[in-house]
Homo-oligomer: A and B are copies of this chain.
Amino acid sequence: MTHPAQRLDDTVHQRVRLGVLAVLAEVRRADFAYLRDALELTDGNLSRHIAVLEQAGLVEVEKGFEGRRSRTWVQATADGRRALKAEMQALRELISRVDAGH
């Protein structure tokens, strides 16, 4: 039987990206500033990881305006939701194996 850690995918599992996908599961669509503040990240760090997620087809980024303020909206794609679900399943199994070992 394979260990659930083998099913963790770096694209989704990486700390910042997992945080972004988790927040997007809670709020559906978030603007850049909301994600930055919710996860206490710098602009640069968040931008870099959103670019990785976008490149992998896991999030969609949309730029727009709210009044005169420019906003960057981020939301998970269907693939992103599926990838997060697979990650949650692998983590659940990993946690229950760790719990059983104690």
Contact = CB atoms under 8 A, between A and B. Distances in A.
A38 B3 contact: yes
Question: Which of under 10, 10 to 19, 20 to 34, or 35 or more describes the interface residues of A?
Answer: 20 to 34
Given A13-B15, A15-B8, A18-B8, A2 B98 contact: no
A22 interface: yes
* Number of identical protomers: 2
Nearest to A26: B101
A3 B23 CA distance: 8
A51 interface: no
Given A3-B22, A5-B16, 20 more contacts: A2-B40, A3-B19, A3-B23, A3-B38, A5-B22, A5-B39, A6-B40, A8-B15, A10-B15, A13-B13, A13-B15, A22-B94, A25-B97, A25-B101, A26-B100, A26-B101, A84-B98, A88-B98, A91-B91, A92-B95
